Amino acid sequence: MNRDLLNMPATKVVDLLKRGEVAPAELIDLAEKRIAEVDGTINATVTKCFDRARAKAADIDKAMDIQTSHAGWLAGLPVLVKDLNEVEGVRTTYGSTIFADFIPKRSDAMVELLERRGAIVIGKSNTPEFGAGANTFNDVFGATVNPWNTKMSVGGSSGGSAAALATGQCWLATGSDFGGSLRTPAAFCGIVGMRPGPGRVPRAPTTLPFADLGVEGPMARTVSDLALMMDAMVGPDGEDPISREAPGYSFQSGIKQGLSPKRIAFTPDLGGLGPVDPEVASICANAMRLFEGDGVGVDLACPDLSGLIECFKDHRAVYYAGALKPLLEQHRDKLKPEVIWNIESGYTMTGESYGDAMRERARLFNAMAHFFETYDLLALPTAIVPPYPVEQRYVEEVNGHVFDSYIDWVYPAFLATMCSLPAISVPCGMTESGLPVGLQLVGKPRGERALLAAARRFEEAAGLLGDVPLDPKTV
């Protein structure tokens, strides 16, 4: 196996593809061998479609309807797609036994766009049922385990993509993020992942096309690779009413120009909204010194975010009731209790209570808009704990604080979601037991390019490049 090619950043592999020094078919063969080598241990790539991939590779030179000079042209690079996204002719389960045998007749908008821009889908990555829960397990495929310690969780819900990237099964992968579903697995697996602002990456078809809390986003092993995939993913779609035209610049350009923030705020806990594991808090606080060493001003500061957790839970409940009520009525016995709870929580919302939640969301956004008049970014831990035992459904308690529900422990992710802000998780250190910790950087509205540039500068200063891909560590 060509480990040099396997370990190579996606940006360099794409350069080789563009120059004809490596062929898509060669990369597909390499990925297939690597998946066979390691995935029996971690269970990240749950459906493979290598025959389809090879058929696509045979046509890649046609470049479809996108010029090969496009900043996001992937030139035949193999990618994995999260099992919440439909890929034409490929089993798509949503992590649910209800759809265990579902084979879609068309791909969703994001997958179609990626394939038009030269991506080759080689398989589907594992996800919890309907993406609900920050631990990747389901009754169709079982649990995905953490390659840094196979007794631990990868987080969720994009845990399969994160684990596959960390073990070198692919060079790029898709994720999605409602309440940290992309960011938490990135932190747990020592990779990078970004939640873009709503409308950047098209979502269609979908039950609730006007909903803006859940987004699709890129996952990669380096920030430069992440920027490349963002360029490949963005653009409008006629079936997505909130999708936007691609910006008049590439997301890779901010990295190349060396854009740097001037002033960053850091908070370990969003101003005291919840507990944080002391080791995680310490690692993230120490990481901020790297920004200071780069000449960036760092303050311990946070706006008033009281009410954020309940506001998020109210909006989430309404979303679940709208999106999944028909499945609850027809297949209640096949839904996990956390999903049922989310849906039924939405039933209890009144017009008055939802109106209150909408006004609270506006207050939070305005607080952040005012905050960003002073600061370029807000930094905080991506997750409040390191990876936890995989058999544990979710984090129930930290520092003596018992959480009210299965989603409360991922509260650091709620801010970007409720305020429509881009956010990225980048590795910032390791615990004494050898588990990754992620630093979350939250940017201004539509500020993905500057956010990527800041994350890239931090990544270089942290010196953690090259820690992945790795072979799974059984303990």
Residues tagged active-site: 82, 157, 181
Beta strand 142-143 with 145-146: parallel, antiparallel or unpaired?
unpaired
Under a CB-based contact definition with an 8 Å cutoff, are residues 459 and 439 in contact? no
Residues across the chain = 475
Could you tell me which residues are beta bridge partners of residue 120?
78
CB of 163 within 8 A of CB of 176?
no
How many Å apart are CA 233 and CA 185, to the nearest integer? 20
The first and second tokens of residue 1, run together, are: 């196996």
457 Cβ neighbours under 8 A, 6+ residues apart: 258, 260, 294
Nearest 5°: the CA angle 121, 125, 126 is 160
- Sequence-ordered list of residues with C-beta below 8 angstroms from that of 407, at least 6 positions apart, any chain: 133, 134, 179, 313, 316, 394
Question: Any idea what DSSP says for residue 155?
Answer: -
Q: How many CB atoms lie within 10 A of CB 55?
A: 12
**Cβ proximity of 106 and 88 under 8 Å:** yes
Is the preceding omega at residue 205 within 30 degrees of 0, hence cis?
yes
Q: For residue 123, give the amino acid letter.
A: G
The rounded distance, in Å, linking the Cα atoms of 303 and 271 is: 7
Q: Name which of 224, 259, 327 is nearest 15 in CA terms.
A: 224
Burial class (CB in 10 A: 0-12, 13-18, 19+), 474: exposed
Task: Report the alpha-carbon distance of residue 152 to residue 227 in Å, rounded.
Answer: 29
- Asked if 179 contacts 417 with a C-beta cutoff of 8 angstroms, the reply is yes
Q: Which residue has the tokens 């953490």?
A: 146
Q: Are 439 and 464 in contact (CB under 8 A)?
A: no
- Per DSSP, 422 falls in state -
Contacts of 282 (CB under 8 A, 6+ apart): none
Query: DSSP secondary structure string, 46-63?
Result: EEE-HHHHHHHHHTGGG-
d(CA 81, CA 425): 19
